[in-house]
Amino acid sequence: MSPLFLLLIIIGCLVLEGFFSGSEIALVSARRARLTHLAEGGYHSAKKVLRLMREPQRLLSTTLMGTNFCTVTATFAANELFAQLWGKKYAGLALLVIFPSTLILGEVIPKTLYRMRATRMALIVIYPLHLFRFLFYPVVSIASVLARGLTYLLTLSRGKRYPYITKEELKLVIATEPPQDVTPDESRMVYRLLSLSATKAGQVMTPLSQVAMVSEETSLGEVVQLIHGSGFSRIPLYKGKRSNLIGIVHAKDLLRAPASVLQEEKLSPFIREGFEVSERTKIDKLLRLLRARKMEIAFVVNRKGEAVGVVTLEDILEEVVGEIADEFDRHPSSRPLSSTSD
């Protein structure tokens, strides 16, 4: 082959590699809301893009096969070109040229350009991608079978499955390059949601010093006054000392109680059982425990078994969406136990 033909092969491979890498980032970054609107309007290309976005494994198999094929072909062509022009002993220097060329011209620049017009480029490249997917199908199918077999031999567990993307990888994507149709607030919410497993109950609880609570010896009338004055719908009860929580009184129980029971001025009929968790309990686990017990409040205890605070569903929710203010919040930094607006 002539040097000119080899040079054309190298240029063609760089262009194709740029197409594959750019197409991948375009489909990953394209705005789903815009594509859905176009698909509903009858755009066939938008429907194809959405269909391929729902099958990321097929997309990555096609683009990965294309970029690898182009890189290998360009490397061989560059070695042959250097050998013809300067002799075989200089053929190895081709790597010093082809590596930065494929990295910059075949990866960095195309991905940057395609991402700037992700939705538009996705609509343009979808048909060529389908063609290459058809051409690569036999090789991709064989490679997929071999990969699954190798994975099975390495794991020795037929029933074990691994996620397409891990939680930590998803957090990294959200923190660095969130999709275009996701707002900054939505990105922060998703990131916080994925970080629940790293947060402990002791970090989100309301300390006892800030909790409106009463002794078990308190009269029913005083509890009613506290509920009206504080705006809290759940009042913890303690016995002896404040760190010995024994249950809660719910405002709803008082509203539903017959007048004859209220006249007795006794708290005992209205005391609900409390639920204790360690201050080291992760709040994603705490959320599951609260749901299983159909409760909205838990007592947080230290290693000695003494209550140090309370945590509610609102506290956990605020870890995801941020501070939730209502008409009973007197200060921006205050964290109410639970308002009667619940």
Q: How many helices (H) and strands (E) does the chain have?
A: 15, 8
**Tens digits of pLDDT across the chain (342 residues):** 788 888 899 899 999 999 999 998 888 888 888 888 888 888 888 888 888 888 777 788 888 888 999 999 999 888 888 888 887 777 777 888 888 888 899 889 998 898 888 888 999 999 999 898 888 888 877 876 777 777 777 765 544 555 555 666 666 666 655 565 667 777 777 777 777 778 888 888 989 888 888 888 887 888 888 888 877 888 898 988 888 998 888 888 877 777 666 666 677 777 888 889 999 999 889 988 988 888 888 999 999 889 999 998 888 888 777 766 554 454 444 444 544 444
78 and 102 share one domain? yes
Residue entry with tokens 């790597």: 95
3-state secondary structure string across 42-73: CCHHHHHHHHHHCCHHHHHHHHHHHHHHHHHH
In a domain, residue 326? The reply is no
Residue 241, domain member (yes or no): yes
Yes or no: say if 247 and 272 are a contact pair by the CB < 8 Å rule.
yes
340 Cβ contact partners less than 8 Å away, ≥ 6 residues apart:
227, 231, 232, 233, 251, 328
Q: Tell me the residue type at 125.
A: V
Residues 231 and 300 in one domain: yes
Give the CATH number of the domain where residue 218 resides: 3.10.580.10
Q: Give the distance between the most distant pair of CA atoms in the chain.
A: 106
CB atoms within 10 A of CB 28: 20
* E strand or H helix that includes residue 315: helix 313-321
Query: Under the phi-then-psi rule, with left for phi > 0, alpha for psi from -120 to 50, and beta for the rest, what region is 125?
Result: alpha
Distance, CA of 47 to CA of 282 (rounded, Å)? 42
At residue 284's C-alpha, the angle toward residues 167 and 243, to 5°, is 150
pLDDT at 18: 92
The verdict on 125 and 168 lying in the same domain is no
- Of the chain, the end-to-end C-alpha distance in Å amounts to 79
Task: Count the domains in the chain.
Answer: 3
Please check whether residue 67 is in contact with residue 14, taking contact to mean a CB–CB distance below 8 angstroms: no
Closest to 237 measured CA to CA, from 274, 204, 275, 290 = 274
Q: Find out whether 283 and 319 touch, Cβ atoms under 8 Å.
A: yes
**CA-to-CA separations, 180 to 21, 30, 283, in angstroms, rounded:** 18, 7, 30
Domain for residue 129, yes or no?
Answer: yes
Q: What is the pLDDT of residues 62-90, one digit of tens each?
A: 888 889 999 999 998 888 888 888 877 77
Give the Cβ contact number of residue 294 at 10 Å.
6
Domain containing residue 287: 198-321
Same domain, 24 and 116: yes
Q: Are residues 16 and 153 in the same domain?
A: yes
Same domain, 36 and 122: yes
111 and 180 inside one domain: no
Exposed/middle/buried for residue 331 (C-beta within 10 Å: 0-12, 13-18, 19+): exposed
Q: What is the pLDDT of residue 168?
A: 65
d(CA 111, CA 135): 23
Residue 61 lies in a domain: yes
Given strand 271-273, what is the order of strands in its sheet? 214-215, 234-238, 245-250, 271-273
With tokens 């809660």, the residue in question is 248
pLDDT value for 338: 47
| 333 occurs within a structural domain | no
Q: How far apart are CA 29 and CA 46, in angstroms?
A: 14
Q: Which two tokens stand for residue 102?
A: 């494929």
Query: Do 88 and 155 fall into the same domain?
Result: yes
